[in-house]
Amino acid sequence: MGECKGRIVIALGGNALQDSKGPATAEAQLEVVKKTCSFIGEIVKQDYEIAIVHGNGPQVGRMVLASEAAKNVTPALPFDVCGAMSQGYIGYHIQQAMREILREIGKGYIPVVTLVTQMVVDKNDPGFAAPSKPIGPFYNAEEAQSIAAETGYVMKEDAGRGWRRVVASPLPARIIEVGSIRRLWDTTIVIACGGGGIPVIELDDGNIEGVAAVIDKDFAAELLAEEVSADTLMILTEVEKVCLNYNKPNQQAIDHMTLEEAEAYIAKGHFAPGSMLPKVQAGMKFAKSGHAKKAIITSLYKAVDALEGKTGTVITLE
């Protein structure tokens, strides 16, 4: 890819894939992804090497809903299969959009591939006993209560944005295809661990089996960043900086956090579970992996500025 300025694993949030206020169609998603990739292209233009990890909460939720709605016509698909399908669907859109932007910036020689990625999780992970990962569309309280009564789904309020179904979210332990990702790194932009990776458990005979869960993509991106010896974990979300007292009159943006400071903020309950909390925790874990490592949390639109130290929230070891 040319002289490398640094290795970055980029984690894309839902707003980078779909407009929450727009239509939930494939065509609409592709248009949003094209805008997203124009910002990612600016990072590649500056000779950073990247890998891309994306979420899949809304997409996999709709796939499960569609599959269950059609169960009288065709058998419903297992949750892990829907996760695999979402990796291909979203990855295809990112590949197409990145190819277009790479040609525009004179780097059309860089291939972009999506790797269907399996992620080993512990079958005894406490996440299976306490579902916390939001998937699918937003509902109001009355709709959520009705859905829970009808289906038995666990529904929770999601950071003031509405109610959503939540599923188990075990922590990622091992990326099965990590060797292939490493081999591709120097020549290729790899889209990997989509939706956090397809969660699988290891059986006693050494084989693996898919399970019904969604791994948080920020933790998956963090593990990938460690495994490929990245310099920076960049978590792109809806806000420019992490804030204390978010959405309150005394809201305060944070430019930099050490691990000690981040732990203190978490203890005081500043970051919402299922929203900013996993992003901060993933950033902390990566910063802990080495003195030169840093995590950046910022908005998609400020990604380049954040890399240059002009904005965003940076998490470092000390």
Of the residues 13, 127, 197, 217, which is catalytic? 217
First to last CA, the chain: 32
Q: Which of 189, 170, 77, 180 is nearest to 119 (CA)?
A: 170
Question: How far, in Å, are 30, 93, 198, 206, 306 from residue 116 at the CA level?
Answer: 19, 14, 8, 20, 29
| In the chain, alpha helices (H) | 26-45, 57-69, 79-104, 141-151, 178-185, 217-227, 259-267, 276-288, 303-307
* Catalytic residue selected from 14, 41, 197, 283: 14
What gap in Å lies between CA 225 and CA 234, rounded to an integer? 10
Q: What is the 8-class DSSP label of residue 75?
A: P
Selected catalytic residue, list 13, 15, 194, 241: 15
Catalytic residue among 56, 195, 279, 294: 279
Q: Is the dihedral of CA 256, 35, 220, 181 positive or negative?
A: negative
φ, ψ of residue 211 to 5 degrees: the values are -130, 160
Report DSSP letters for 287-305, one per residue: HHT-TT-EEEEEEGGGHHH
Side chain identity at 59, as an amino acid letter? Q
Q: Which one of the listed residues 41, 56, 61, 133 is annotated catalytic? A: 133
- Residue 13 bears catalytic tag: no
User: Cα(44)–Cα(154) distance, rounded to whole angstroms?
Assistant: 41
Could you identify the residue written with the tokens 């002009």?
A: 310
Q: Is 133 annotated as catalytic?
A: yes
Rg (CA), the chain: 19
Active site (annotated) includes residue 88: no
Tokens representing 108?
Answer: 């059309």
Q: What residues are labeled active site?
A: 14-15, 133, 217, 279
